[in-house]
């Protein structure tokens, strides 16, 4: 057997890494729709996470986050890596998430749904945001505190009171839309945020925005938008439109 000559190609599209919870069934599907393959190279890894999302399972996820980042291909030359857990970031803290991910894989930027949401709120001048969360109070409350700590008022919040991630992934989008309507009806807010990367929100956002007359953002939408912005490409998920 003899060797055959070949040449190497340098990638021309930005590289994105996405760290997804073991139990998340939604965000990968959404990202393939938000960010077409011709726009970026998307690489996905999984982080160990409990079947239920609780403060204890989030703490355990923190210990595995760096190792999960380390399973992304090191030669990809990442422009941005996103940690896809809103409530996890709220409890662990964006700075700690950034440090753990950066220690696991070389990347120019690190983001997460919490930081992405705050960037989107700032872009739109949104200061009073209502939240729909799927989770029990002990998990949902951390996100509210994180927003308030960054100067974003959360006048109203609704939750489905769920812990089991397999059930979160199967919440009917019509139920999510109903919760958004009920939340907006309370008034006193200039946007609605649908929190959780495992919620099926992709198809209901345009209709809800038109109906409510308010920006309706989701964890997956803002994370896709922020990762595109950090990678320097036009974002299909741009919440400023």
Condensed to tens digits (0 to 9), the pLDDT of residues 107-156 reads 999 999 999 999 999 999 999 999 999 998 888 899 999 999 999 999 99
**Are 97 and 135 members of one domain?**
no
Q: How far, in Å, CA of 41 to CA of 57, rounded?
A: 30
Beta strands in 22-68 (DSSP E): 41-47
pLDDT > 90 fraction of the chain, expressed in percent and rounded: 87
**How many Cβ atoms from other residues are within 10 Å of residue 175's Cβ?**
14
Total domains present in the chain: 2
**Are 101 and 121 members of one domain?**
no
pLDDT digits (tens, 9 = 90+) for 193-221: 999 999 999 999 999 999 999 999 999 99
**Are 121 and 180 members of one domain?**
yes
25 class by beta-carbon count within 10 Å (0-12 exposed, 13-18 middle, 19+ buried): middle
Domain that holds residue 192: 115-218
CATH number of the domain residue 79 falls in: 3.40.50.12500
Q: Residue 239: pLDDT above 70?
A: no
Q: How far is CA 125 from the centre of its chain?
A: 20
Q: Which residue has the tokens 């998920």?
A: 237
What is the pLDDT averaged over residues 28-40? 95
CATH number of the domain residue 120 falls in: 3.40.50.1860
**Are 211 and 173 members of one domain?**
yes
Residue 241: pLDDT band (50, 70, 90) is very low
pLDDT reported for residue 240: 42
pLDDT > 70 fraction of the chain, expressed in percent and rounded: 97
Q: Would you state the structure tokens that stand for residue 71, as one six-digit string? A: 């399973």
């Amino acid at each position: 057997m003899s060797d055959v000559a070949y040449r190497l190609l340098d990638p021309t599209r930005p590289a994105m890494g996405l760290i997804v919870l073991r139990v998340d069934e939604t965000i990968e599907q959404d990202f393939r729709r938000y960010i077409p393959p011709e726009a970026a190279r998307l690489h996905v890894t999984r982080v160990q996470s409990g079947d239920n999302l609780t403060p204890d399972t989030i703490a355990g996820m923190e210990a595995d986050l760096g190792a999960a980042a380390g399973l992304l291909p090191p030669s990809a030359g990442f422009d941005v890596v996103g940690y896809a857990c809103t409530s996890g970031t709220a409890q662990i803290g964006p700075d700690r998430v950034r440090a753990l991910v950066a220690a696991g894989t070389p990347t120019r930027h690190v983001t997460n749904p919490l930081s992405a949401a705050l960037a989107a709120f700032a872009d739109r001048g949104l200061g009073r945001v209502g939240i729909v969360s799927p989770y029990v109070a002990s998990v949902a409350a951390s996100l509210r505190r994180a927003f308030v700590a960054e100067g974003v008022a959360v006048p109203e919040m609704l939750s489905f009171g769920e812990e089991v991630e397999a059930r979160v992934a199967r919440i009917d989008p019509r139920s999510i839309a109903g919760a958004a309507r009920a939340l907006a009806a309370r008034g006193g807010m200039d946007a609605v945020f649908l929190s959780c990367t495992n919620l099926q929100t992709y198809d209901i956002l345009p209709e809800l925005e038109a109906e409510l007359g308010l920006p309706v953002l989701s964890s997956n939408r803002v994370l896709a938008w922020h990762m595109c912005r950090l990678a320097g490409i036009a974002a299909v998920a741009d919440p400023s439109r």
